[in-house]
């Protein structure tokens, strides 16, 4: 460790032609930008919400021909599928039917997943049409085949009670509500920006997304500038 301030070895700035910091920063930030773009263009199914239930295992059973109904669900807007974890003890995976009802019991969306899905696994039961936001909704899943299916969820789960084949069951199915089809992160950006504005203080929430982007840009620009200046200063 040197203890000499401003020693001859360190006092003079390097010749202009030898400065490497700016090119290194340019290449590095360029690589980050390219990586970010690649990620932003990746397409996959995206969530519209969840019911916050923990998946502790395949603890919610549904026999052949039976239907389970889970009330008290907040069904997010733009839901096009129900994502659940499911397992089949024996036989091939049966077809499943999903139904979404509003608080009054009217069906607002429904759909079917064909059988022979890969079990155990995470499955998407498509429903149509895409929903509007619905509080106090009920989600029903019917087993259209003979083999019993077990779904991921919690049992018991607080005071939640669902019905299976008309009988009460202490527990809850974990449901992830999915938007229709696949989307890139870039396509989802406006939705993310809206979500970013929720559940924060009124003081910040309406401009938080813009401020965040600005602050990040400021931090990077200032860091780059400082590194370049310090190299010149020696």
Partner 1 sequence: MSAAAPGAPAFGGAASAPRRRSGVSAALAGAVRAVPAAAWACAIVALANGLAWSLIVPPFQVPDENAHYAYVQQVAERGTLPHEVQPEGPVSPREDAVLASLLTFGITGHRGNPAPFTQLQQDVIDAEVRKNLSARGDGDALTATGNPPVYYVLQAVPYKLTPSGKVLDKLAVMRWLSALMGAATVLLVFMFLRELLPGTRWAWTTGALMVAFQPLFGFISGGVNNDNLLYTMAAGVLFGIARAFRRGLTPRRGLVIGAFLGVGLVTKLTLIAFVPATAVALVLLVWRAPSRSRGEPGSAADEAPSPESADLPARDVARRGAFVAAAVALAPVALYLLLNHFVWNRVAVPGGVGGVASGTTGHTFSLREEISHVWQLWLPRLWMRPQFTYSPLWETWFRGFVGRFGWLDYDFPGWVYQVARVITLTVVAFAFAELVRRRDALRRRAGELAVYVLAVAGLCAEIGIQSYRELVSTGGVFEQPRYVLSLLPLYAALVALATRVGGRRLGPAIGAALVVLAIGHDLYAQAITIARYYA
CB of 125 to partner 1, least distance (A): 18
* CB contact set of 147 (below 8 Å; sequence gap of 6+): 64, 88, 89, 90, 91, 92, 93, 94
Interface pick for partner 1 out of 7, 63, 107, 123 (rule CB under 8 A): 7
> Which two three-digit tokens encode residue 217?
């840009």
* 42 touching partner 1, by CB under 8 A: no
> What are residue 120's DSSP bridge partners?
none
**Cβ closest to partner 1, residue 112 vs residue 185:** 185
Quote the least distance from Cβ 164 to partner 1, whole Å.
23
Instruction: Retrieve residue 75's tokens.
Output: 């069904």
Q: Which helix (H) or strand (E) holds 209?
A: helix 208-233
185-212: b or e for each residue (b if 16 or more CB lie within 10 Å)? eeebeeeeeeeeeeeeeeeeeeebbeee
Looking at 60-68, 89-97, 123-131, 197-205, which segment touches partner 1 (CB under 8 A)?
197-205
223 contributes a contact to partner 1 by CB under 8 A: yes
Minimum Å gap between C-beta 123 and partner 1 is 16
> Quick check: 68 and 60 in contact, CB under 8 A?
yes
Residues that bind partner 1 (CB under 8 A): 1-7, 9-10, 14, 18, 20-21, 24-25, 28-29, 31-32, 35-36, 39, 46-47, 49-50, 52, 54-55, 74, 76-77, 133, 135, 174, 176, 185, 188, 192, 194-196, 198-204, 208-209, 211-212, 215-216, 218-220, 222-223, 225-227, 229-231, 233-234
């Amino acid at each position: 460790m040197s203890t000499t301030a401003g020693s001859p070895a360190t006092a003079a700035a390097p010749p202009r032609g030898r400065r490497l910091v700016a090119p290194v920063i340019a290449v590095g930030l360029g690589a980050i930008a390219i990586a970010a773009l690649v990620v932003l263009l990746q397409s996959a199914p995206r969530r519209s919400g969840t019911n916050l239930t923990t998946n502790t295992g395949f603890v919610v059973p549904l026999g052949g021909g039976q239907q389970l109904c889970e009330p008290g669900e907040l069904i997010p807007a733009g839901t096009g599928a129900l994502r659940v974890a499911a397992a089949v003890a024996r036989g091939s995976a049966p077809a499943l039917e999903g139904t979404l009802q509003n608080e009054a019991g009217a069906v607002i969306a429904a759909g079917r997943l064909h059988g022979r899905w890969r079990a155990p696994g995470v499955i998407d039961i498509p429903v149509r049409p895409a929903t509007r936001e619905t509080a106090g909704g009920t989600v029903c899943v019917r087993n259209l085949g003979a083999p019993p299916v077990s779904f991921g969820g919690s049992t018991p789960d607080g005071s939640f009670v669902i019905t299976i084949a008309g009988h009460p069951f202490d527990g809850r199915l974990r449901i992830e509500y999915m938007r229709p089809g696949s989307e890139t992160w870039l396509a989802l950006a406006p939705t993310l920006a809206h979500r970013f504005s929720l559940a924060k203080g009124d003081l910040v929430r309406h401009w938080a997304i813009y401020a965040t982007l600005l602050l990040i840009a400021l931090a990077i620009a200032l860091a780059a500038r400082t590194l370049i200046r310090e190299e010149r200063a020696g």
